[in-house]
């Protein structure tokens, strides 16, 4: 198996470059010679971290200098245009120039999306990119698309999300004939706003996917749907709400358990169950979310990514290439002759 080269934005994320470099080192320890990693950013800081973890001089790692960083609070589009030598721009350029096959970044999500969009362009037949995020359910998982790449969408964009999500779910999540649902405020055909009503008709008439109609919020976590389609505004609100809900519920449960000794003992006996539940809802297990629709492989990590998340995100980027996700999307879009 030939090595896959991956560009890593070493300056992106709340704990960069420490967590990013540590995660890169872990990826090489876990996956051996599968990957060649380009660490993009401040050479001095990156090399200091490499020395600290004993990876300085490792031929599987190459430091690519950049002089600027897009901070989390900056406006994405203006930042990537103003900071042309930012780590995310330099990393995206490595993919554009075909030095790297894929990109991983835990930095400013909007800047990552914008850099990939402007530098790589879109896959043939796809108009807008979408972030595909995996959510746990009672028995399995579902994929939500879009989780924040495109807040203003057209009905055609949502059709494309349904198709790309269906392909990704069948290949990566191994879902047979994934059930695609349109997130709405009711299950009836006429429910929703103008966007969802128009998208419903396109999804209903489209070939190549198993569209089951509208789905409501209470359907999502009960294993009734495999791919949930929505615009990036709705998807991002849902993503962040669910993230905080998981944190808050954990704190509430812990606060109640600590009130009585018997409850503490019961929690100790159920430690294994709590561990499995935490694992199912842990963002670091997946490492990041793919940006679908762009003409390149991009995995977007959480801003608070630790070394484990970075390691898994790098592997997710490599898997995206090995599984030929973009090639499959392009072929199916062409075969379906979508509008």
Are 19 and 13 within 8 A, CB to CB?
Answer: yes
Sheet holding 35-41, edge to edge: 61-65, 35-41, 4-9, 102-105, 297-300, 289-292, 130-136, 141-145, 227-229, 179-183, 210-215
For the stretch 145-171, pLDDT in tens is 999 999 999 999 999 999 999 999 999
Residue 7: which of 84, 71, 97 has the closest Cα? Answer: 97
Q: What number of other Cβ atoms are within 10 A of residue 253's Cβ?
A: 14
The rounded mean pLDDT for the chain is 91
User: Which residues have CB under 8 Å from 123's CB, separation 6+?
Assistant: 293, 294, 295, 326, 329, 330, 333
278 pLDDT more than 70:
no
CA dihedral 105, 304, 110, 194 (to 10 degrees): 120
Tokens of 336: 């379906």
Q: Which position has the higher pLDDT, 33 or 315?
A: 315
- Per-residue pLDDT, 260: 73
258 pLDDT more than 80:
no
Q: Identify the burial level of 205 via C-beta atoms within 10 angstroms of its C-beta, where 0-12 means exposed, 13-18 middle and 19 or more buried.
A: exposed
pTM for the model stands at 0.91
276 pLDDT more than 70:
no
Residue 166: in which H helix or E strand, if any?
helix 155-172
DSSP state string for 245-289: HHHHHHHHHHHHHTT-HHHHHHHHHTHHHHHHHHHHT-HHHH--E
Region class of 281: left (phi > 0), else alpha (psi between -120 and 50), else beta: alpha
- Per-residue pLDDT, 243: 75
Region class of 174: left (phi > 0), else alpha (psi between -120 and 50), else beta: left
- Per-residue pLDDT, 155: 96
- The superfamily in CATH containing domain 128-257 is Isopropylmalate Dehydrogenase (3.40.718.10)
End-to-end C-alpha distance for the chain, whole angstroms: 38
Residue 4: in which H helix or E strand, if any?
strand 4-9
Tokens of 259: 């009130």
DSSP state string for 21-85: HHHHHHHHHHHGGGEEEEEEE-HHHHHHHHHHTT-TT-TTEEEEE--B---TTS-HHHHHHH-TT
- Fold classification of 1-126+286-339 is Isopropylmalate Dehydrogenase (3.40.718)
262 pLDDT more than 80:
no
3-state DSSP assignment of residue 103? strand
- Per-residue pLDDT, 166: 96
- Per-residue pLDDT, 203: 95
Are 86 and 80 within 8 A, CB to CB?
Answer: yes
Tokens of 253: 């449960």
- Per-residue pLDDT, 111: 97
Q: Where are the domains of the chain?
A: 1-126+286-339, 128-257
- Per-residue pLDDT, 251: 76
Domains 1-126+286-339 and 128-257 share a fold: yes
């Amino acid at each position: 198996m030939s090595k896959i080269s991956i560009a890593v934005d070493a300056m992106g994320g709340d704990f960069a470059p420490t967590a990013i470099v540590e995660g890169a080192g872990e990826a090489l320890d876990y996956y051996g010679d599968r990957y060649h990693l380009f660490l993009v950013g401040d050479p001095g800081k990156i090399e200091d971290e490499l020395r600290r973890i004993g990876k300085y001089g490792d031929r599987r790692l190459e430091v690519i200098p950049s002089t600027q960083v897009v901070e989390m609070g900056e406006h994405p589009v203006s930042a990537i245009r103003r900071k042309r030598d930012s780590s995310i721009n330099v990393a995206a350029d490595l993919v554009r120039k075909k030095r790297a096959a894929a990109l991983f970044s835990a930095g400013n999500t909007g800047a990552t999306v914008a850099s990939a969009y402007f530098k790589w362009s879109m896959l043939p037949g796809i108009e807008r990119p979408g972030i595909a995020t995996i959510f746990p359910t009672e028995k399995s998982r579902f994929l939500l698309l879009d989780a924040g790449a495109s807040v203003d969408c057209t009905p055609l964009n949502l059709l494309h999300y349904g198709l790309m999500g269906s392909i990704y779910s069948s290949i990566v999540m191994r879902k047979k004939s994934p059930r695609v649902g349109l997130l709405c405020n009711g299950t009836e055909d006429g429910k929703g706003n103008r966007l969802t009503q128009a998208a419903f008709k396109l999804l209903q008439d489209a070939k190549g996917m198993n569209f089951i109609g509208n789905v409501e919020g209470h359907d999502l976590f009960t294993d009734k749907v495999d791919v949930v389609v929505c615009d990036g505004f709705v998807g991002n609100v849902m993503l962040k709400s669910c993230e905080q809900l998981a944190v808050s519920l954990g704190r509430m449960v812990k606060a109640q358990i600590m009130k009585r000794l018997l409850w503490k003992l019961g929690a100790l006996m159920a430690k294994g169950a709590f561990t499995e539940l935490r694992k199912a809802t842990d963002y670091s297990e997946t490492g990041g979310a793919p940006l679908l629709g762009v003409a390149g492989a991009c995995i977007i990590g959480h801003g608070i990514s630790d070394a484990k998340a970075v390691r898994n995100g790098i592997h997710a980027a490599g898997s995206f290439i090995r599984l030929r996700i973009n090639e499959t999307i392009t072929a199916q879009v062409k075969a379906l002759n979508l509008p």
